[in-house]
Amino acid sequence: MFLDLQGYGRRPEEPPPPPRRLSPQGEKVMLWVICVNILLLFIAPIAGGSVVMTLINVIRHLF
């Protein structure tokens, strides 16, 4: 009833790919990107509020 094909269709298992690493230059770039993002995390809300208040004042002054 069943036909034994002795592993027919099986493919040999491929080894997992090696883990990726950043180059030293890539690590420096990543560090700068993270630092700039942290800095903007604190500065952007203040700057955004200033822009909004400026727009409100300009609109009030015009009308």
Distances (CA, A) of 52 to 3, 25, 39, 44, 48: 76, 39, 20, 12, 6
Residue 1: pLDDT band (50, 70, 90) is low
7 pLDDT more than 80: no
Cβ atoms 22, 30 nearer than 8 A: yes
* Share above pLDDT 70 across residues of the chain, in percent, rounded to a whole number: 90
22 contacts: CB under 8 Å, gap ≥ 6 = 30
| More confident site: 47 or 33 | 33
Give per-residue pLDDT as tens, 18-33.
Answer: 888 999 999 999 999 9
55 vs 32, residue with greater confidence? 32
Spatial separation of the C-alpha atoms in residues 39 and 45, rounded to whole Å: 11
